[in-house]
Structure 1
Amino acid sequence: MTTTAPTANGRVIALAHYAARALLEGVLVRHGATFQHSVTLRAVVVAGESIGRDELAADVAGSLKTDVSVVRDVVGELTVAKLLEEDAADASRVRLTDAGRDLYESTTAETAEISARLYAGIPAEDLAVAGRVLTLVTERANAELAGA
């Protein structure tokens, strides 16, 4: 029996996203973290481990398509949990604590193993095409949202 792969569309993309996200959230729950926590910690790491609160809130809100106030609450949760702290050099900035770095590194390592299994055997050319298509769809959707 031959099966035909579906054409990429919103439903196919959403199903892949939610299946992979469920695996990620399984890892995060074991560590007492949420998806929003993970995205926020990653943004701090990518920024060089210290970032302005407003810049962080705008970056994560843009990624998650949520309100900046929601992200500020997440930053507050991470601060109370001692995963983020005020940057001693500049009170308008936050940085990872050792516990925050440990959480980020351990969840990243666990999810890297899952990702390796999910992407195993997919030709590099197919991944490159998928990456280009999804980047274009993201750019177009962001442009639509900006115009709304």
Structure 2
Amino acid sequence: MTTTTPLVDSRVIGLAHYAARAVLERVLARHGVTFQQSVTLRLASVADGPLERERLTDDVVASLKIAAAEAHDTIEELIAARLLAPEPPSHVRITDTGRELYETSSAETGAIAARIYAGIPTEDRAVAGRVLTLVTERANAELATSER
């Protein structure tokens, strides 16, 4: 019996996504953070300074394809946990505790990712990256068209 490698499609992409996300969520659970919170925290962490709250909301919505109300709730959860702090009049910034949590969980998941990607040739990863970027662009275009 021979096993053939499947062509990339939404099922293959989804299986890879959910497997990787399950690994990430296991790490995040040890730190008391959800997936949505970690994505939001990352966006605040890589910003040059305080972010306008609406911009952060828009970035979370675009990244996770969730409703703005859900993104607002996630930001409020992070403020309540003191991982983000409000900056008047309408900005938020990552706190030292938030930055430390982000860096710690990133280091943990980075080590796991290194094991997962070990032995996969750089050229193969580059091709996969190009294909997945194109799929993402096209799916986002479809979403934009259907929202009109």
Q: Do both share a fold (TM > 0.5)? A: yes
Partner of 2:34: 34
Which 5+ residue runs of structure 1 have no aligned equivalent? Answer: none
Q: Distance in 2 between matches of 1:2 and 1:124?
A: 26
Q: Distance in 2 between matches of 1:94 and 1:46?
A: 13
Partner of 1:80: 80
Which 5+ residue runs of structure 2 have no aligned equivalent? Answer: none
SS at match of 2:78: helix
Q: Distance in 1 between matches of 2:122 and 2:27?
A: 26
Q: Distance in 1 between matches of 2:124 and 2:143?
A: 28
Counting only pairs closer than 5 Å after superposition, residues 64-103 of structure 1 correspond to structure 2 as: 64-87=64-87, 90-103=88-101
Counting only pairs closer than 5 Å after superposition, residues 1-148 of structure 1 correspond to structure 2 as: 2-87=2-87, 90-148=88-146
Question: TM-score, with normalisation over the residues of structure 1?
Answer: 0.95
- The alignment-based identity, stated in percent, is 60
CA shift, 1:45, in A, is 1.5
Q: Distance in 1 between matches of 2:89 and 2:44?
A: 15
Paired residue total: 146
Moved beyond 4 Å, runs of 4+: none
- CA-based RMSD of the aligned residues comes to 1.0
Question: TM-score, with normalisation over the residues of structure 2?
Answer: 0.95
Q: Distance in 2 between matches of 1:44 and 1:6?
A: 37
Q: Distance in 1 between matches of 2:56 and 2:143?
A: 20
Letter in 2 for 1:54: E
Q: Distance in 2 between matches of 1:139 and 1:61?
A: 15
